[in-house]
Amino acid sequence: MLNWWLILLIVVIPIVVILLAVYILIFFQNKDDAKSDIGYKVIFVLAMVVGLGSVLLLPYDVANSPDPTQQTKYNQTLNTQLMWEVVLWMMAALAVVICPFLMFFYEAYDPEKPKIGKQIAHGIVSTLIIFVIFALVTGLCYWKVGVSQIKFEAFATGPQLLPVTNAGILNNGTYEDATLVINVTFTTYCMGMLCFFGWIFFFFYGGVGVTSYPIRKLLAFPKRVKRIGSSRFTQEMAIILAKAEALLELSLQLQKQCRSRISRQNKSKVNIIRNEVYILEAQQNQLIWAYTKAGGSPFIVYGGLAMHIICLGTGIAWILHIFIYNTFDADPF
């Protein structure tokens, strides 16, 4: 008999996870990209579902496996091994092929000269390089080793008779270092290599980011944008308007000069004006934000400060823990 409760969970939970991933996508997406880049959004939702599925599948696998020491009416179980293989290979495809291709495809986009063929070629070549490197490293390691080696301390004991005055037997035990060798499948070995490379990237991007982000926020806290009054807002907006009018006049002059042919000197002027426009837009947005949204609840402002201090302390404690454990072999347990 099958456990229908587990079957219901395997149907309902993926739907909930998909809805959660779609909600996160809608909440964090840019309003300008709401109706574009559908392919990227589908891959994002798929990656979120696979990532959450790999976490939720572990307790599901435990619940699906019956305890052999206890009698139960559920004598049949679901094929969670097949579920693991599907989820893990989807993670491998996303990490090695799909996500790198989309990243390089988007990186090759030129807004001035959009060429879809160039983007596809750049994405395929770059992804092929990553795939070949990963396949060679994984294949050679599996061919040469292909096993899991687990070191442990083997305990050996033997009975030893005590003198006649102390009747009894004493066990004389000794320890020796040993290694347990377990053959693994290619799927398991491939996932292990993904975890190996993943930990390296996590060390640089995750570990450094967890520490540097609170430091940057703490250093920026005294210089944070504070709320301004209406009079100062009017003055600053007048300055921005004057700069915008000057840039507009320069742009009209350049437009007259570039009607027949755009020289290299005029191209550099166009780029300078474009950068100035970007800077002016950023100043305007910052000014509007300071007038309408800056300040706010002190719980949010100083609560964020407290959270950054806690995160920084956690990062420092993490670094000290790794250093002390690896240097002095100190085990708190």
Q: Report d(CA 104, CA 128) in Å as an integer.
A: 11
Are 203 and 234 found together in one domain?
Answer: no
Q: Are 244 and 119 members of one domain? A: no
Same domain, 89 and 235: no
Domain limit, last residue, from 217, 240, 272: 217
Q: Note down the domain range covering 189.
A: 4-63+79-151+175-217
pLDDT in tens, the chain (333 residues): 567 777 788 888 889 999 999 998 888 887 777 777 788 888 989 999 998 888 888 888 887 776 666 666 555 567 888 888 899 999 999 999 999 998 888 888 777 777 888 888 988 999 999 999 999 999 999 998 888 888 887 777 665 555 555 555 555 567 778 888 888 888 888 988 998 888 888 777 766 767 788 888 888 888 777 777 788 888 888 998 898 888 888 888 887 777 766 777 777 788 888 888 888 988 888 888 777 766 556 677 788 888 888 888 888 887 788 788 878 876 665
Instruction: Name the nearest CA neighbour of 298 among 223, 226, 195.
Output: 226
Which of 162, 187, 217 corresponds to the end of one domain? 217
Q: Note whether 57 and 206 are same-domain residues.
A: yes
CA distance 261 to 266: 9
Q: What Rg do the C-alpha atoms of the chain give, in angstroms?
A: 31
In a domain, 168, yes or no: no
Is there a domain that residue 45 lies in? yes
Distance (Å, whole) CA 108 – CA 128 = 16
Has residue 200 been placed in a domain?
yes
Residues 215 and 305: their CA atoms lie apart, in Å, by: 11
In this structure, the answer to whether residues 50 and 183 fall within a common structural domain is yes
Q: What was the pLDDT predicted at 19?
A: 93
| Domain annotation covers residue 319 | no
- Considering Cα of 22, then 25, then 27, then 33, what sign does the dihedral take? negative
The helix/strand/coil state of 157 is strand
- Residue 247 in domain: yes
One domain for residues 266 and 205: no
121 token code pair: 């070629």
Tokens coding 230: 């209406």
Q: Are residues 18 and 139 in the same domain?
A: yes
Q: Is residue 42 part of a domain?
A: yes
DSSP letters spanning 190-214: HHHHHHHHHHHHIIIIIIHHHHHHH
How many structural domains does the chain have? 2
Q: Which two tokens stand for residue 37?
A: 């880049």
* Same domain assignment for residues 194 and 241: no
* Residue 312 is assigned to a structural domain of this protein: no
Q: Which amino acid is at 125?
A: V
Distance separating alpha carbons of residues 72 and 75, to the nearest angstrom: 7
Is residue 141 in a domain?
Answer: yes
CB 169 within 8 A of CB 160: yes
Of 50, 48, 142, residue with least CA distance to 88: 50
pTM for this one? 0.64
Beta strands in the chain (DSSP E): 147-161, 169-183
Question: What's the CA gap between 202 and 182, in Å, rounded?
Answer: 27
Distances (CA, A) of 156 to 159, 182, 247: 11, 21, 85
d(CA 289, CA 280): 14
57 and 195 housed in the same domain? yes
Cα–Cα distances in Å, from 136 out to 15, 98, 200?
Answer: 37, 19, 18
172 DSSP β-pair partners: 158
Residues in Cβ contact with 305 at an 8 Å cutoff, skipping those fewer than 6 apart = 218, 221
Whether 110 and 180 map to the same domain: the answer is yes
Question: Residue 163 has what DSSP assignment?
Answer: P
Residues 253-304 pLDDT 10s: 887 777 766 777 777 788 888 888 888 988 888 888 777 766 556 677 788 8
Find the Cα–Cα–Cα–Cα dihedral 284, 287, 288, 289, rounded to 10°.
Answer: 120
DSSP classification of residue 65: S
In this structure, the answer to whether residues 206 and 252 fall within a common structural domain is: no
Q: Are residues 198 and 88 in the same domain?
A: yes
